[in-house]
């Protein structure tokens, strides 16, 4: 009888000591997803002051086309600059996957070009592209992003409709 009483206690202790508690793992993954959701909201609403709450000071963003920025201030500048070109920029998450310290999103981005973008004066054209990003989270903050926007589609929409 004693064996049956102690066995569940030992198993519980092992789970806690190993950090294998699936509820904590699920909570961590949901917290990571929520940080990334907030980041997409900042891109959509332009409230860059929110980045101080969700981003590590040593944040680094790498985009496939060679664009890179660093730190909270770098992200604030990039988002603000992009929203000058596309004031109604919106990112709508279609898929979000979390595992370990990584979160991946596939999202639809839309916006109307009202300011200069990549050397192209305002066109008034509304664009739609799909993007994928991979994020790394540490200590409850975004520390890294790898972005894969469909830049070719974006440029084609702006160039084609311009003519």
Residues of the chain with pLDDT under 70: 1-25, 161-163
What's residue 11's pLDDT? 47
> Residue 121: what are its φ and ψ, rounded to 5°?
-65, 165
What's residue 163's pLDDT? 52
What's residue 1's pLDDT? 46
* Contacts of the segment 124-130: beta carbons below 8 A, 24+ positions apart: 125/157, 125/158, 125/161, 125/162, 127/86, 127/154, 127/157, 127/158, 128/157, 129/153, 129/154, 129/157, 130/94, 130/106
* pLDDT tens digits for range 69-87: 999 999 999 999 999 999 9
What's residue 31's pLDDT? 96
């Amino acid at each position: 009888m004693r064996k049956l009483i102690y066995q569940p206690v030992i198993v519980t202790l092992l789970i806690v000591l190993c950090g294998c508690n699936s509820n904590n793992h699920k909570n961590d993954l949901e917290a990571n997803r929520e940080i990334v959701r907030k980041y997409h909201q900042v891109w959509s609403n332009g409230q860059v002051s929110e980045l101080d709450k969700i981003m590590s000071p040593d944040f680094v963003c790498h985009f496939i086309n060679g664009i890179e920025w660093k730190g909270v201030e770098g992200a604030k500048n990039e988002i603000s600059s992009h929203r000058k070109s596309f004031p109604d920029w919106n990112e709508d998450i279609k898929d979000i996957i979390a595992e370990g310290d990584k979160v991946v999103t596939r999202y639809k981005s839309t916006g109307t070009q009202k300011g200069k973008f990549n050397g192209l004066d305002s066109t008034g054209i509304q664009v739609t592209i799909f993007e994928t990003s991979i994020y790394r989270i540490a200590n409850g903050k975004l520390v890294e992003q790898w972005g894969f926007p469909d830049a070719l589609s974006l440029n084609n929409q702006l160039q084609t409709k311009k003519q």
